[in-house]
Structure 1
Amino acid sequence: MNVCKIFALHVLILLCLTLCCNHINAARIIGFFPTPSKSHTLIHAAIADSLARAGHNVTVIGISKNVYPNAKYKFIEIKLTEAAESHQNVLQNMVKKPKSFYFNLFNFVYSFANTANRTLSHPKMKDFLRRHGAGAFDLVLLGFAANDFAMGLGAHFGCPTIISFVVQPVSSINRLVGNPSESAYVPSWFSELKAPLTFWGRVLSFLVAFYEEWIVLPIVKINMLKIYNYNFPSDRYPPLDEVRKNVSLIFTNHHFSQGPIRPNVPNLIEIGGIQIKEKPDPLPTDIAKVLDESKEGVIYFSLGSNIKGSHLNEEKIKIMFNVISKLPYKVLWKWSPTELPGESKNIIFRDWLPQDDILAHPNVKLFITHGGMGSVVESQYHGVPMVGIPLFGDQPSNMVNVERSGYGLAVDYLTLSEESLNNAIQDVLNNPKYKEAVQTFSRLYRDRPMTPRETVVYWVDYVLRHKGAKHMQSPAVHMNRWQLLSLDVIGFLLAIVLTISVVIVKVCKLICCRGRKNKLPKVEKAKKN
């Protein structure tokens, strides 16, 4: 009996020591996600939840309802009704008046920057910052989208900053960690170009990179600086350029298997598919029943978390409904019940559907999507072929890559007709090449040494262990663009070459002049004789 008591006591002591160690190693992390886009927040919040489940003390500040109600982090909501409505208006204009992404780029930037600025200046946020000063947190996790100025939070709390970005690196992200652009073989995410590039592809890629680096970024930087100086005045905080150098790590929701193949600096970490659950959650009973009993297959249709029925043209909605209502399959359609386009026995409308869990079901035959990166990645991960109706932003570029890779087809929203939509759906449903291609990629995409969540936890712990991990930072972060392009070096060498050339020319002229003077007397004597 005494032996049992001693054993139980030892177990209790060991358990207490374990709990104490976990408590000691737990870091205080603040997540700041001032994005009006739910799809963006899903990525950022998945990182925060992974860290919270690993034992860290994580607090998340967001401007919309918590996207993960069962998350382990503490959630603080800052309501910005006007900013949300403004963002919806921007989306509606982009859908109803489609333009190239580059024409809408500044609208995107303004919308995201304005929302982040309102979040920082909100009374609830200001009160939070007053109550939590330097030393209150060990790490800032920033959901990045045209909000460089929010990196001032790292200066406020006196701790490193880690960036979460929702797609592959773009110019603004590359600049933060000194990641090389390499436009000759790494096309911009927005350009709809796919590697390997042809000569004309490289020409276009160069022009796009030039536009982003030398026109967009300088204009955006001026706006960022104004907002930063307003929220983080110079009498208390360091300059924005210095704050930008405090970025320890960037998590990008991308994986090299998606392409393009490119070099990355050590502190740019790929975590493509972080929002995808390794084990799907149980589906709602009614949805599970539909999927389980539909042995012939089910189609899932969603235009994402941002698009509402009011954003779309009524004629286009009618076209979609007419085609989908005639399909010999059950269709789960994410659509507001107040904006139903009609009624059909084969369509089940829901205001919200657990997309990741539905796509994981083996009976899903097709995903009709808007082509947002999060949706495309989830479809690729679960091996479900796609038909895309891209509307704005990165969606056209994403669907171009889907088509070229053989994972599905895209139909143009502006010229959408019942014939074009039905032909695309029938082709993807009946031609096995699309399913085979996306399922082959799914196996490739999943084959990694660590899951995205494990990767996040490891690298955040690494940054914390090494006090910001400054040794991972590229020297390029501390260089200006002229130095990165070696223009100062080239100018110096050209000056040397020019100086030497001038000296040589003058010496030659001097020698020639002396030679002529020496010849003159002889010529004159010859004339006299």
Structure 2
Amino acid sequence: MSPPASQRMTSSSLLCYLIPLALAVSRFNSVSSARILGYFPSPVKSHLIVHAALAETLAQAGHDVTVIASVRNVYPHAKYEYIEIDGAAFDPSVLTGMVNNSKPFYRKFDDMMKAISTSTNASITHPRMQRFLSEHGAGAFDLLLLGYFMNDFHLGLAAHFQCPLIVSFMIQPILSVNLLLANPAETAYVPTMLSNLAQPLDFLGRVKNYLFALLEEFSMVRFIRRLQQELYDYNFPPDRYPPLDEVRKNVSLVFVNHHFSQGPIRPNVPNLIEIGGIQIKEKPDPLPADIAKVLDESKDGVIYFSLGTNIQGSHLTEEKTKIMFKVISKLPYKVLWKWGESVRPGQSKNIIYKEWLPQDDILAHPNVKLFITHGGMGSVVEAQYHGVPIVGIPLFGDQPSNMANVERSGFGLSVDYTTLSEESLNNAIQEVLNNPKYTKAVRDFSRLYRDRPMTPRQTVVYWVEYVLRHHGAKHMQSPAVHLNRWQLMSLDVIAFLLVIVGSVVAVFVKICRLLCCRGKKCETIKGTPAAKVKKTQ
């Protein structure tokens, strides 16, 4: 039965209600074109791929975006304006040492931090950057988007431009990132990057995790803070800029290239926003004709092999390179091998060497059967998103931790580089290729990873415009940012309460003693003979 005419709403009257509502919503959600500066000083190309994806997303959303970076633009057709600061690259010997030194990562940390500091300082002291800063002062930009790589001193740029600050980070939050927002560490159940542990932590796991957290705190963060303070004082003199500790409190948001489905499960403050997979295209670009031909015609499948954007053949030992070639050349599959050097490990009919390959677009192709990788987070995320199983050869940094998580999740296997042999590499490749459980696990996870209320790009646009609408969104900031270590641990409160309890106990004891002494005197008087009492009187 249809409702009475008085209760029916015509299409025209419905539009009268919906059009004003839609206009109101659009006015609330829209932000006029903002002037945004993306400063990405890391000389690592894989880092720029993530940071520049944010910048391009914002430019596509209609904002006026300028990017300053230390390497060649990874998005040559991007809508943002690009300024390259040359001369801020890593010393090649640093990467060679990181790859071939068998010491744990934390023991190679000092050399890595010095190399990072040297390159990031070179970017801001570069004449082109200094000229840019002299020409653009307070009010030149509405927002600073800073690529973070142990370069806290660059936070001073937000003070220079006097604008809100958003930080972009390439992986899950580590301690130095958490400290920017007072994001809780929760070492009792959240594994640190260095510990390589899985949740839930048993007692020994919690002991190990706690010790690694202390190591990260005292040998890394303390080192970073001391070095960053020196660089900050040099580049942002105290007579013109606020102290670094105050500038750190100006961080409105941190974007991390991570998603909770990857683990570990942990609490986050409201202004830590996960945008895992931001660098992955929602629709792959067309492949170069020669690569597309190989992939399309290889019905049995293709293996893709890349050790990332930074590692070149010259960083590997000749012995390890020969091992890789011998194993790869014997496989009954076409292999696309990203190899950036002119001297190749060898020639084989099944191997196609390329100086550069569009990794995201290749992994999206249905004929890719396996991805052999160094285990960088960007590579792992792209394989997970596209449902491609992995064999990892982790080299340094977060790579061992990433591959440990890949193994635990059943997405692939990891092979130790320092003990790499033909047998260990071949066994891992054959196991992942021939056991369907790895492909099934990663494809199941791919569906889980993609299932979100907003895509990473939509998330970036929303939260950036939220910060702009609310002038820095200080209401999202944790109050813990303004507390020191002793206050966060409530040691001052505990000390205060102990003083009160101690004072009360001391007063009580004093009263008891006085009462006891007075009682003893009365008993003594009562027990004294009368003659003696009279004599005493």
- Give the shorter-chain TM-score range: over 0.9
1:73-111 deviations in Å (ceiling 9; x for gaps): 10000101xx4242x221110111122121122333222
The answer to whether residue 269 in structure 2 is matched with residue 265 in structure 1 is yes
1:57 aligns with 2:61: no
Q: Secondary structure of 1:327's match?
A: coil
C-alpha change, 1:520 and 1:425, in structure 2 (3 Å) is same
2:82 maps to which of 45, 69, 75: 75
Partner of 1:299: 303
1:17 matched residue in structure 2: none
1:368 lines up with 2:375 in the alignment: no
Correspondence 1:106-117 to 2 at 5 A: 106-117=110-121
Q: Does structure 1 residue 167 correspond to structure 2 residue 174?
A: no
Offset of residue 48 of structure 1: 0.4
Q: 1:107 to 1:396 in 2, by over 3 A?
A: same
Residue aligning to 1:350: 354
Alignment of 1:283-322 (within 5 A): 283-322=287-326
Q: In 2, distance between residues paired with 1:200 and 1:304?
A: 34
Q: CA deviation at 1:221?
A: 1.1
TM-score (norm. length: structure 2): 0.92
Amino acid at match of 1:399: M
Q: What secondary structure is seen at the aligned counterpart in 1 of 2:528?
A: helix
- Give runs of aligned pairs for residues 180-219 of structure 1, distance below 5 A: 180-219=184-223
Maintained 8 Å contact 1:365/1:384? yes
TM-score (norm 1): 0.93
The match for 1:470 is 474
Q: Deviations over 1:413-434 (max 9, x none)?
A: 1111111111110000000000
SS in 2 for 1:338: coil
Is 2:312–2:341's contact at 8 Å kept on the other side of the alignment? no
Q: Show structure 2 runs of 5+ residues with no match.
A: 1-27
Matched, 1:178 2:182: yes
Give the letter for the 2:78 counterpart: A
Q: Who is 2:403 aligned against?
A: 399
The aligned amino acid for 1:55 is G
Alignment pair present for 1:236 and 2:243: no
Cα deviation for residue 376 of structure 1 reads 0.5
1:399-438 correspondence to structure 2 within 5 Å: 399-438=403-442
1:497 paired residue number: 501
Pair 1:439 & 2:448 matched: no
Contact 2:303 / 2:369 at 8 angstroms: preserved in 1? yes
Amino acid at match of 2:340: S
- CA distance 1:24–1:489, shift in 2 (3 Å): closer
* TM-aligned CA deviation for residue 502 of structure 1: 1.5
2:52 corresponds in structure 1 to 45
Q: What SS does the corresponding residue of 1:59 show, helix, strand or coil? A: strand
Query: Aligned letter for 2:58?
Result: L
Task: List alignment gaps of at least 5 residues for structure 1.
Answer: 1-20
Supply the AA of the counterpart residue of 2:245. D
Equivalent pair of 1:98/1:392 in contact (CA under 8 Å): no
Alignment of 1:84 with 2:73, yes or no, is no
Amino acid at match of 1:29: I
Distance of 2:213 and 2:529 partners within structure 1: 71
**Counterpart secondary structure, 1:524:** coil
Tell which deviates more after alignment, 431-440 or 225-234: 225-234
> Do 2:31 and 2:469's aligned partners in 1 also have CA atoms closer than 8 Å?
no
2:73 to 66, 78, 94: 66
Offset from partner CA, 1:277-317 (integer Å, 9 cap, x none): 01101111000000000000000000001111111111111
Amino acid at match of 1:357: D
Say which SS state the counterpart of residue 55 (structure 2) adopts.
helix
- Count of residue pairs the alignment pairs up: 506
CA displacement, residues 375-422 of structure 1 (integer Å, 9 cap, x when unaligned): 000000000000011111111111110001000001111111111111
Higher Cα Rg, which structure = 2
- Partners of 1:331 and 1:356 in 2: CA distance: 16
Task: Note if contact 2:40-2:69 (Cα within 8 Å) is conserved in structure 1.
Answer: yes
Q: How big is the shift at 1:261?
A: 1.1
Q: Whole-Å Cα distance in 2 between the matches of residues 236 and 528 of structure 1?
A: 87
- CA shift at 1:516, angstroms? 1.5
After superposition, the CA RMSD in angstroms is 1.7
Query: Conserved in 2, the CA contact under 8 Å of 1:399 and 1:410?
Result: yes
Superposition deviation, residue 63 in structure 1:
0.8
Paired residues of 1:44 and 1:143 also in contact (CA < 8 A)? yes
Residue identity in the other structure for 1:252: V
Q: Relative to 1, partners in 2 of residues 1:228 and 1:527: Cα closer, same or farther, differing over 3 Å? A: farther
Percent identity at matched positions?
A: 68
Which range moved further: 504-513 or 386-395? 504-513
Query: Is contact 1:22–1:55 with CA below 8 Å preserved after alignment?
Result: no
Instruction: Tell me by how many angstroms 1:524 deviates.
Output: 3.4
Q: Residue 120 of structure 1: which of 112, 120, 124 is its match?
A: 124
Superimposed CA distance per residue, residues 128-179 of structure 1 (whole angstroms, 9 cap, x where no aligned partner): 0000111110000000011111011111111001000011111111111121
Residue 45 and residue 356 in structure 1: after superposition, are their counterparts in 2 closer, same or farther (change >3 A)?
A: same
1:23–1:520 distance in 2 versus 1, CA, 3 Å? closer
Aligned residue type for 2:151: N
Instruction: Write the distance in 2 (CA, Å) between the matches of 1:268 and 1:184.
Output: 21
Which residue identity is paired with 2:236? Answer: F
- Following TM superposition, the consecutive aligned residue runs of length 4 or more in structure 1 with deviations greater than 3 angstroms are 21-24, 526-529
Letter of the 2:172 counterpart: Q
* Range 293-302 or range 476-485, more displaced: 476-485
Residues 527 and 142 (structure 1), Cα distance of their counterparts in 2 relative to 1, 3 Å cut? farther
Match of 2:137?
Answer: 133
Q: What amino acid maps onto 1:296 in structure 2?
A: D
SS in structure 1 at match of 2:529: helix
Tell me the SS of whatever aligns to 2:452.
Answer: coil
Q: Distance in 1 between matches of 2:31 and 2:455?
A: 25
